[in-house]
Amino acid sequence: MGPWARAWLTGVRHLKVSDTVSALRIEPSLITAIVNDRPVSLSAPPIPAGVWAAIEGHVTTDRQSEQLAQLLEHTWEEPLLPPELVRVGAEDDVAAVVRAVAEEIDRDPSALLRFRGYDARSAADHDDAWRGGDLPPLPPPARRPPDSVPKRFGTSGIRTADGDLVETLIHAYRAFGD
Amino acid sequence: MLELVWHPEAVAFAFARDGAILGDDELDVLDNTYRGRFLSVDELAAWAPDQPLADSASALLHVRELARRAVSEGLVFPQLAEIGGEWHAFWGATLEAKVEQALTAIAAAAPPVIADYFHGDRVATVNDLYPRLVDRIARDRLVAAGVRLGSARPFGRHRAVDAFLHGLTSPEPELPHGPSYAALERNVTRWVDRGFARLTRAPWGVGLHLDERDGRLFLQLWLHASDDASVALPASLLWDAGPDAFRFLRDADPYDDLREAFARIRPELAERGFAFDGEEPRELELDAEDAEYFLRRVLPALSMPVVLPTSWTQRPARIRADLTARATTGALAHFDWRLRVGDLGLDEEELRRLASERAPLVHAEGRWQALRRDDVERALRFLELKTSGGGMVDLVRAASGIAIDEFGLELGEVSLDERLAGMLDGDAKFKPLPTPPGMEHQLYTFQEAGHGWLRLLGDLGIGCVLADDMGLGKTVQAIAMLVSEREQCGRDALGPTLVVCPMSVARQWLHEVERFAPGLRVHLHHGGARLIGDAFVERAHDSDLVITSYDIATRDVETLQRVQWDRLLLDEAQDVKNPQTRRARSLRLLRARRRVAMTGTPIENHLGELWAIMDLLNPGLLGAREWFHRAFVEPIQLDDDPHALERLRAIVRPFILRRQKNDPEVELDLPPITTIKDYCLLTTEQAVLYQQVVDSWLPRVEAHEDRFGRRGAVLAMLGQLKQVCNHPEMVLHEGGPIEGRSGKLERLIDLLRQVPAGDKALVFTQYTSFLGLVDHLAERLGKPVEFFHGGLSAGQREELLTAFATPDGPAVLVVSLRAGGRGLNLPAANHVFHFDRWWNPAVEQQATDRAHRLGQEKPVWVHSLITTGTLEERIDQLLESKRELVEKVMAGTSDDWLGDLDLGAIRAAVALAPDAYEQEVLV
C-alpha cells in the first residue's frame, strides 16, 4: 500500500476483510457505503478551496505523493489525512469501509483528494442528483434539563447587573425547554 | 413535489420541477432555471409547506427538526462575533458527537442537488444550514416566551454585557455601537471553551428541596455538586432517566455518591419523622403540620443545602407599613405605625426571630411566604428610628411613603383623621382672607385666596411656594400677608421678614410696598453705602421688611446671619436652582422661623429646581438629593414614568399654590387692563455713558438764557439719556455685541420669556434704532420678533399685521411709536411693554389702546420699563405726584413740557443715583 493508504488505515482497531462493502462513494467531505445492507457514512470538513488553488502546481492525482502530504501538513497546516472523522454506523461496519477506502486510494489516489475537497464537482455530475435515501431517525432526546449546558460551564467571571453571566443565561436556557 | 436547495447567501430556494409556480423568484439549479421562492432563515425556521415534499425538501427540513430538538435540549452556547465591522450576538450550535453524526447521516441520505451551490459537498451544505437555524430557532423561542435580558439602551459599567444579552434575546442579532465588545468576546469564548473542554471532577452531595405543586408541598431529595451548590439535579431524574445528565455536569458517579450521602443523613431525617424510600429515595409529601414542623424546627438545624420553592423566593413577600395619623394639639400629628406581611402583623419580637433564621418564612394569607433577610433587618431598623409624630413635613413624608421608601419598605394603608386629610388634600381647604385694612389696594378674589393660603401655611410654620403666573400680583399677596399678620399679632410680636430678590427687582419691591402698604417699615439693603454690622442689625429689628438682592445677601451673609429673621422670602426663586452655588449655600445659613418662595415658572416641571427650592423651604421633605434623583428624576426624565410624576406632584401639592392667567377663577376676576411698573438697573457701561452725557450737556443747558434755546438743549439731552438707558449701541453705533450691555433690555427679555405660550406681546419704542436690537431679541427668545416702523411700505405693513394676527405668526411685535400710526388695530396682543416712555400719558394710553380694543378677549397687562436711579424714575415719580398739574400743562401729545421745567428740577431729574447700576458680585 502506498503512503496515503497506509496513513489512512492508522488508528483503525481491527479489520474484518471478509465484510462486503458495496456502493462505496467518495465525495467532497463525505464517504458513504453499504455494509451488509447497513448504511455507513464518514465525514470530515474539507481542505479550503483557497489552499488547493494556492498549491495547484504541486497536486498529483495519479500517485500518493509524500511531498504533497508534507506540503499540506507543514506549510498550510491542513493535513491531507483528516485528524478526525465523524463516523456513522456500527463499529465493525465503519472499520470495513475504512479498509475499503484505503484500497480505493491505492487504486485511485485522486479519491482521497476528492474527499478532501480538491477538484470539487457540481451535483450535476451525479447520476441521479434529485434522489435521496432514507433519512435517518433523529437521535433520542437527551434526558437532562435544558440548563445543563450553562451549569456545566459554571461561573464565568463576567459580571452583569444581576450577578454572574451564567445566572442570567440560565433563564434563557430554561425557556428553551418550555 | 416541493424541492428545496440551500444557497451560500443564507437563503433557501423552494421550487417545483413539475412546473408548479411557487413564487416570482428565479434560480439556476443543475443548469436549469426554475421559478420559485426564496426563503430567509427566519422564514425557513417557521415554514409549514402544505405541498408534498421531494427528497431535497425532506432532507433540509430534517436538519431543521434536528435544530429544533437541539434548542429544546439547550445544546447551544452564547457567542459574539464581528462581521463586516458590526458586532453580533448569536447562539452557537454545540456539536456533540451525536449531532455531528446526525448531520453526516442526513447529508449522506440527502439528494446531491441540495449541494449544487456548495460544489457538491453535501456535508458542507447541512453544516452551513444547521447553525443558522439553531440561532434563529433559539431566538424565536426566547422572544415567544417573553424572555428579555440586558437592555436595548445599555449604559453604565455593564454596557457591553447588557447589549450582548439583549442581542441574544431579541429578533435581530446586531449589537449597538458604543460599547467595546472585543474584551467581552474573548472572555465569553474562553469561558465556553473551558466549559466544553473540562469536566470538573467533584463528588455529588445531597440537598433537600421544597416543591409546591397543585397546592401540595413536597420535600425532595436532590444531588448538588460539592464544588458548586447551584449545579443540582433531582434524585428522581437518576432513577427515571439514568446517569447521563449527571455525568454531563460532573465527572463523578452519581449512584455511589448518592448512596453514601444518603446513608449519612437518613437516620437524622428519620428521627425527625421524615422517612424517604430506602431503594430509590425521591420525595415525601408534607401536610400542613409537617410543613410547619419542618420549616420551624428541622430546617434551622440542618447542615445540608435546603432550597425553597422558586415561587416563594423569586417573589418574596413584602413587609408593609400601615400608618394611622391623627391631629394633636401639641405637635401637628401623631403617627402610629404597624408592620405586616399580607394579613399577618409583625411586631418587634417576631421580626427579631425572623432576622435570626436562615430562611425567614411566615405563614400569611393561607400560605407560606419567604422574606428577604435584608427586608427583615430594614424593618427592624425602621422600628427603631421611626418618628412617632411631627409637623406638616413629617406628615407629608409619612403619608406619601417617602419616609418608608427610604427604609426600603412599602407603604401599606394610610388612615388620617379628617383634619389631617383636609390639609393634605390638593384642593387646599383654606379660607380666603380679605384685603387687610392697612393695604391700599383691593385684592381680587383669587388674591384673597392666595392671601389666606399664605397665612395658613405661614401660621403653621410650613415653607411654601407661591407660583402664580407673572402679572397676577404675587408681591401684592405677599404684602397682604405681611400686613394682616401684623394686624393680627401686633407689629412688635413679629421679627422682620427678609426679602431676597434679583438686583433689578429690589427697587420694584420697595415701590410696591410704599404704594400698597405705606404703613410697613421697610429698609432697602443695597448699594455701596448700605449699613453693616450693629447698625444693620438694629435697623433690621426696627423694620417689618428688609429687601436685598441675592448678590448682596451672598456677600453680606455674615451680617445677615446675626439677625433672627421671622421669615425669609425668596423672590424669583428659580434663580436658586443649583444648591451647590455659594448663593444657595449662603441662603441656607440664614436663620428664619419660616420661609416662602415666589416664582413665575411652573417648578414642578423642573425637577432639579424643585428639589433645590423645597430643600430650602422645608429641609428633608424630599429626602436626600441622591435618593430623590433615583426615586423621581430618573423614572420621570429617563423612563417617562407617569406614576412617579403623579406621586411627586401629590407630595408637593400642599406646598405649592399656582394659578395661571387663563384659570377660570382668575380670568373672570381680572380687570380689562392691569398696569405694572418694571424696574431695572443700568449696567456699568450705561452708567458711565449716562454720566458722560449729563456732564457734557448740563453746562450747555445752563448756558442758554432764553427758554426756547434751553428747551431745545434739554430735550436733546433727555433724548440722549433715554437712549443710553435703552442700550449703549443706540448712542455709540459701534456695531458691538448686544447681550449684557443694557439692564433694560435684559429685563425686557426676562419679562417676554414669562409671557405664556399662545399670548402675544407688543413692545413700544420711540426709536427706530431699536431695529438693531430686534434680531438679538428674536435669538434670545427663540421666537420670531418683527418690527413695525415707518420704513416699511404699505404692502409690507399689511403683511406684517396680518401675520401678527394669526396664531402661528410672530409672538412679539416691536412698534415704533412714531411710525406706529394712528388707527393700528392690534387686539391679538394682550401684553404691552413700553420700552421707553413718551412722557405724555395720552400718547402712552393711545399705544396701549391699540391692544385693548374691541376684539380683545383677554385681560391686558401693560408694563412700563423704568431704569431706577435715572431720569426715567424721577420723571415717572413726577408724573405720578403731579398728575393733575401735568394734565393741565400738557395740552396735546408732546412731551415738550419737560423742556419748560426749571433748572433745579432738570438737574434733579437727570442726576444719576449712586446705586443705579449693578455692581459685579462673584458667586
DSSP string covering B761-772, please?
Answer: EEEEES-GGGHH
In a domain, A133, yes or no: no
CB B88 within 8 A of CB B30: no
Residue B159 lies in a domain: yes
Give per-residue pLDDT as tens, B17-51.
Answer: 888 888 899 999 998 899 999 999 999 999 999 88
Q: Which of B30, B120, B141 sits opposite A175 (nearest CB)?
A: B141
Do B883 and B736 lie in a common domain? yes
- For residue B127, give the 3-state DSSP assignment: helix
Q: Which helix (H) or strand (E) covers residue B798, if one does? A: helix B794-805
Q: Are residues A21 and A55 in the same domain?
A: yes
- Work out whether the CA dihedral B512, B518, B519, B524 comes out positive or negative: positive
The verdict on a CB contact (< 8 Å) between B106 and A158 is no
Q: What is the pLDDT of residues B282-324, one digit of tens each?
A: 999 988 788 888 887 788 777 788 888 877 776 778 889 898 8
Residue B572 CA to residue B557 CA, distance in Å, equals 19
- SS3 letters across B250-267: CCCCHHHHHHHHHHHHHH
Amino acid at B661: K
Adjacent-strand bridge partners of B414: B323
Distance from CA of A7 to the nearest CA of B (A): 23
Pair B192, B211 in one domain: no
- The grid coordinates listed for B120 are 457538491
What residues of chain B lie within 8 A of the CB of A43, using their CB? Answer: 100, 104, 107-108, 123
| The pLDDT of residue B921 | 42
Domain identity same for A152 and A85: no
> What are the angstrom distances between the C-alpha of B239 and each of A52, A149, B202, B235, B428?
53, 21, 21, 7, 71
Are the CB atoms for B857 and B829 separated by under 8 Å?
A: no
* Whether residues A32 and A84 fall in one domain: yes
Chain A residues with CB-CB distance to B8 below 8 A: none
**What is the per-residue pLDDT across B254-289, written as a single tens digit (0 to 9) for each?**
999 999 988 888 888 888 888 888 789 899 998 878
Distance from CA of A30 to the nearest CA of B (A): 6
Report the half-sphere exposure of B141 (CA within 13 A, side-chain side): 25
Predicted confidence at residue B888, as pLDDT, reads 53
On chain B, the residues whose CB falls within 8 A of the CB of A85 are: none
Q: Note down the domain range covering A111.
A: 3-125
d(CA B44, CA B54): 16
Chain A residue whose CA is closest to B193: A153
How far apart are alpha carbons B342 and B892 in whole angstroms? 83
Looking at per-residue pLDDT, the higher value among B560 and A57 belongs to B560
Measure the CA–CA gap between B569 and B463, rounded to whole angstroms.
10
Domain-embedded: residue B439: no
User: What are the chain A neighbours of B111 within 8 Å (beta carbons)?
Assistant: 128-132
Rounded to 5 degrees, what are φ and ψ at B423?
-70, -35
Contacts of B494 (CB under 8 A, 6+ apart): B485, B486, B544, B566
User: pLDDT by residue (tens digit) across B660-689?
Assistant: 777 777 766 666 778 888 999 899 899 999
Residue B916 placed within a domain: no
Report the CATH number that the domain containing residue B781 is assigned in CATH: 3.40.50.300
Give yes or no: residues B645 and B729 share one domain: no
**Are the CB atoms for B158 and A160 separated by under 8 Å?**
yes
In angstroms, the CA B108 to CA A11 distance is: 23
State the Cα–Cα distance between residues B321 and B410, nearest whole angstrom.
Answer: 6
Distance in angstroms (rounded) separating the CA atoms of residues B343 and B345: 6
Q: Does residue A92 sit within a domain?
A: yes
Q: Is the pTM here over 0.80, yes or no?
A: no
Question: Does some domain include residue A146?
Answer: yes
Check if the beta carbon of residue B115 is closer than 8 Å to that of residue B122: yes
Task: Please state, in angstroms and as integers, the Cα–Cα distance from residue B286 to each residue in B274, B291, B307, B682, B832, following that order.
Answer: 9, 6, 15, 87, 83
Q: Looking at the domain assignment, is residue A39 inside a domain? A: yes
Let me know if residue B432 belongs to a domain. no
B187–A157 CB contact, under 8 Å: yes
Using the predicted structure, report yes or no on whether residue A140 has a pLDDT greater than 90.
no
A106 and A173 co-located in one domain: no
In a domain, B367, yes or no: yes
Alpha carbon of A175: minimum distance to chain B alpha carbons (Å): 6
- C-alpha distances (whole Å) from A98 to each of A11, A34, A84, A113 are 10, 12, 13, 16
Domain enclosing residue B902, as ranges: 674-910
Whole-angstrom distance, CA of residue A165 vs CA of residue A158: 6
Does residue B113 form part of some domain?
Answer: yes
Location of C-alpha cell 427538526: B65
In-domain check, residue B313: no
Q: What is the pLDDT of residue B922?
A: 38
**Cα separation, B73 vs B76, whole angstroms:** 8
Phi/psi of residue B589, nearest 5 degrees: -80, -15
**Cell 467532497, located at residue:** A28
Going by pLDDT thresholds of 50, 70 and 90, the confidence category of residue B425 is low
By the 8 A CB rule, do B466 and B602 touch? no
The cell numbers describing B640, all together, are: 417617562
Q: Which three cell numbers stand for residue B586?
A: 449662603
**Cell match 389696594: residue?**
B441
Distance between CA B324 and CA B414 in Å, rounded?
Answer: 6
Q: What is the pLDDT of residue B301?
A: 78
Residue B246 lies in a domain: yes
pLDDT at site B923: 37
From its phi and psi, is residue B401 left (phi > 0), alpha (psi between -120 and 50) or beta? left
Contacts of B127 in chain A (CB under 8 A): 45
- B759 pLDDT tier (thresholds 50, 70, 90): confident
Query: Are residues B402 and B518 both part of a single domain?
Result: no
Q: Is the dihedral of CA A79, A84, A87, A90 positive or negative?
A: positive
Residue B426, pLDDT above cutoff 60: no
The rounded distance, in Å, linking the Cα atoms of B690 and B872 is 12
The answer on A72 and A20 residing in a single domain is yes
- DSSP class of residue B638 equals I
User: Which ipTM value was assigned to this complex?
Assistant: 0.90
Q: Does residue B731 share a domain with residue B627? A: no
Domain count, chain B: 5
Average pLDDT of chain B, as a whole number: 84
Same domain for B121 and B244, yes or no, is: no
* Number of other residues whose CB lies within 10 A of the CB of residue A19: 15
Query: How many separate domains does chain A show?
Result: 2
Distance CA B682, CA B462 (A): 37
Eight-state DSSP code of residue B174: B
